[in-house]
Structure 1
Amino acid sequence: MQKAGKTDAQEKFRLDKWLFAARFFKTRSLAAEAIERGKIHLNSDRVKPAKVLAAGDMLTIQIGNYKYEIEVLALSNKRGSAAIAQQLYRETEESCRQREIIAERLKAQPTPFYTRGRPTKRDRRRIMQLKDNQ
């Protein structure tokens, strides 16, 4: 007896699995959460994680400050290397330019004195030195 398996024609390519395979998110659950929160649009429509994806679809992906506009070139449910993942989609020229502009703006901003939480011992010494100088 032969096992009943799905061929490529029968296999469904879920949006959350594809986003994970294309390496936009580190886990499938993060991809599904982003879709639920409305950060992912398929052909300008808000969708659910189980939406079936097809080659030629246009995706708008919002991750942090960056917005990707991509065209789906190939389908995959399995996460592979970064080189394989890059062959699954093509980013539009306008999207690339916008992301570069945003990256330049973020680099131009001054870095915070300390990034998060409590200041380190070194940061506290700098703060005390500034207070003493005033």
Structure 2
Amino acid sequence: MTDEALKIEGYASLFWTRDLNDDVTAAGAFAESLAAGAPVTMLHQHDEAEPIGVWDEVVEDAKGLFVRGRILRATPRGRLVAALVEAGALDGLSIGFRQVKARTQGRLRVLSRVELWEVSIVTFPMLPDARLKISSGSA
């Protein structure tokens, strides 16, 4: 087993895509939060007690919220999550946030501004297409 961090990347949110909770994130929803420079924590299953790595890049692009980071093997949880990701058993991403501005459109809640707190690696993402992959690029 290597102690080297596992580099990962993916989309934690996709703009204008309905999730399983009937939320839709508008393009630009994360811009103010990201510009403020507050750190975005990497967690496993939204468990704030055990951060598992660092997000080196968290940016909005035309598609959604793109993240690139490293799962650190310095902790038991980090080693476990890295092993599960490498085995293909864990590949979901999910955001933890506070709604700042939203509107209701029928059954949908359209999030136009959120304060992003964390991006978790999860078993079942609320947005089914929010997935990570092992990164071949530099983090």
**TM-score, shorter chain, exceeding 0.5:** no
TM-score (norm 1): 0.26
Higher relative contact order (CA 8 A, sep 6+): 2
Q: Which has the higher strand share?
A: 2
Higher-Rg member (1/2): 1
